[in-house]
A and B are shown apart, each in its own frame.
Chain A
Amino acid sequence: MALLDVRDLVVEFPTRRGVLRALDGVSFSIEKGEVLGVVGESGAGKSLTGVSIVGLLERPGHIAGGQILLDGTRIDNLPAEPMRRIRGKRIGMIFQDPLTTLNPLYTIGRQLTETMQTHLPLSDADARKRAIGWLDRVGIPAAAQRIDAYPHEFSGGQRQRVVIALALCAEPALVIADEPTTALDVSIQAQIITLLKDLTRDEHTAVMLITHDMGVIAETANRVAVMYAGRIAEIGPVETVIRHPAHPYTEGLMASIPSLEHRVARLRQIDGAMPRLDALPQGCRFHPRCPKAFDRCRTDLPDLMDAGATRAACWLHA
């Protein structure tokens, strides 16, 4: 049984001009200890998928259909209190900006011990000892002294290390990391990705890694889901999706990334832009930009179907 199973998830936002369907039939699963990368352009629905899973969807947005199962139990319809206990204990979270995740008024030690004591039966002394251990593991130098420091006393990279410690300290089975390195400089980015990879491997934690950076996914993920306009366009093993993409959108996306290895005269570009939610085209949502679109693409919306080693939502593979 998969650790996380998302089935046909639909998320809607009622607005004055009608209901906007931001996620439309998103299905995927994550096994224990697996890293699933989720990529897509801004507005594709990657972050929304993440917050829907942890029950932090902001009103008036709501889950309008589908199921989310953690270890076989539905969590999408839980009341606030049991959901709060799952957050932190079973599912840890890492967000893009460490400054908004950390409480500026509390020392990082207090934030760590409070998180652990909420979810684990620990005495004050044990919790503090463990907190120092975690800071040490995430690479904060002189952890025993730094534990009583406030978030503003750390650099951006160190803060993100603290956030990782905070997400992992209650030993969750799943971590949702939403753009964990986007706010950091490249040389720091590499350190954080390596840290996240090593720690989750040691703890056998499953990771849902949301990012727009294909390079980060290539290095970190086992499988990858490519999202487009509120749906999954393609999902499969990371190597196949990057080297032999089955969906024309994935193909265009990969080819549009400038490479460090060789210089080309022109980058492959996908003309146009992702449609807005209030102006979705009929049929496949990618067809107005797709070089391979044919009649059926303009009328029927494709679901994920087998396409070699991956699954793609594209009529080319029907």
Chain B
Amino acid sequence: MSTRHILETVSLSHDFDVSKPWLQRVLAREPRRRLRAVDDVSFHIEPGTTFALVGESGCGKSTIARLAVGLYDPTEGDILFEGQVLSDARAKPATRRRMNMIFQDPYASLNPRWRVRDIVGEPIRVFGLGERPNEARARVGSLLAQVGLTVSDGEKYPHEFSGGQRQRISIARALASEPDFLVCDEPTSALDVSVQAQILNLMRDLQQRLGLTYLFISHNLAVVRHMADRLGVMYLGRIVERGPAEAIFARPLHPYTRLLLDAIPDLEQIGRSRKAVGGELPSPIAPPPGCPFHPRCPLANDRCRVEKPGHTPVGDVLVACHAVAEGRTG
């Protein structure tokens, strides 16, 4: 438990209760049903770096984002913020202000009735960071400048801005409490590519200038490759492969990571015809036994169908796959 890590999760799990209402359940004699959205996830993030979680919808990546800022409490396992249990750390405003979140949808995450200066200034007021009113106003101005907007934009309302500019406002608000750690949940997936490039560049610049640490959630592997230092690939609530981003992109080990990388249409592949991988994501309410990926996996054998794989180290990378551990990757 080193304090070198700004955030660390230890065997983190989170369940959602998806039972039917009480009366129906009693009448139908059904037990409670729980959905394990996050299952035994461990990772750590070093200060000033970006750790990315990537996976398809329903894999649990956004649940981890919410757990990481304390919006949900873990069902099992721990989240540590600089070595302290997160719920204890968040009890103190001095540590709570050090973490913040950027959301996916810049249309839903800004209050349409507030002026931009009030949106960006709210964390300053809440944490009492600006002593006098004009001090707070100057701080809002410099935050807006930092994300490429002007001081006069502070007088406008969110609807007067385009999607990319709104995401800049979200970033300015997230930076207002002077955090070190930002959770970014799909920050560019609602944006067009040319605007996405602006926001990704801005986020990298701010990271270098302010020494920020990012937990970066995305389904887009190309975006993750651009942003991440380290990376975790998720499938049905579990991290199936984790390690330095360079190593994973150079030599993906888990069959699911390889499937994802093969499946992405890429500019380099003009007119290529590929063999599509069959199968679809199973329901997380009734995950398959054994390795959750085995129904779609070309390398699955009897062991994969019954025994959940643990994490095997291969170089700097951890892989949860029997085939990789046994060396039958072909």
Contacts and interface: CB of A to CB of B under 8 A. Distances in A.
Interface of A: 41-42, 155, 157-158, 185-191, 193-195, 197, 212-216, 218-220, 238-239, 242-243, 252-254, 256-261, 263-264, 266-271, 273
B226 A258 contact: yes
Contact of A41 (B56, B193, B221, B226): B193
14 contacts: A185-B56, A185-B57, A186-B260, A187-B281, A190-B262, A190-B277, A191-B276, A193-B276, A194-B273, A218-B267, A258-B197, A258-B200, A259-B268, A266-B204
A260 B201 contact: no
A199 B226 CA distance: 35
Contact of B194 (A41, A187, A195): A41
A41 B226 CA distance: 21
B249 interface: yes
A261 B164 CA distance: 26
Contacts of B207: none
Contacts of A268: 197
Contacts of A41: 192-195
Interface in B183-208: 192-198, 200-201, 204
A214 B267 contact: yes
Nearest to A259: B222
Given A187-B260, A191-B276, A267-B201, A212 B192 contact: yes
Contacts, number: 135
A273 B222 contact: no
Nearest to B272: A219
Nearest to B164: A273
B286 to A, nearest CB: 14
B56 A258 contact: no
Interface string B155-197: 0000000111100000000000000000000000000111111
B219 interface: yes
A268 B268 CA distance: 17
A190 B265 contact: yes
B193 A260 contact: no
- Prevailing SS type, chain A contact patch: helix
Nearest to A158: B280
A212 B192 CA distance: 8
Interface residues of B, number: 47
B258 to A, nearest CB: 11
A37 to B, nearest CB: 11
Nearest to A249: B194
A122 B135 CA distance: 77
Interface string B212-234: 00000001111101100000000
Contacts of A257: 193, 197, 222, 267
A7 to B, nearest CB: 28
B272 A187 contact: no
B264 interface: yes
B204 A256 contact: no
Contacts of A258: 197, 200, 220, 222-223, 225-226
> Which of A190, A243, A261 has the most C-beta atoms of chain B within 10 angstroms of its own C-beta?
A190
Nearest to A268: B197
Contact of A197 (B194, B195, B273): B273
B310 to A, nearest CB: 24
A243 B267 CA distance: 9
Contacts of A269: 194, 197-198, 201
B197 A267 contact: yes
B102 to A, nearest CB: 18
A187 B201 contact: no
Contacts of B277: 187, 190-191
Given A253-B193, A260-B261, A268-B197, A185 B281 contact: yes
Contact of B195 (A213, A266, A273): A273
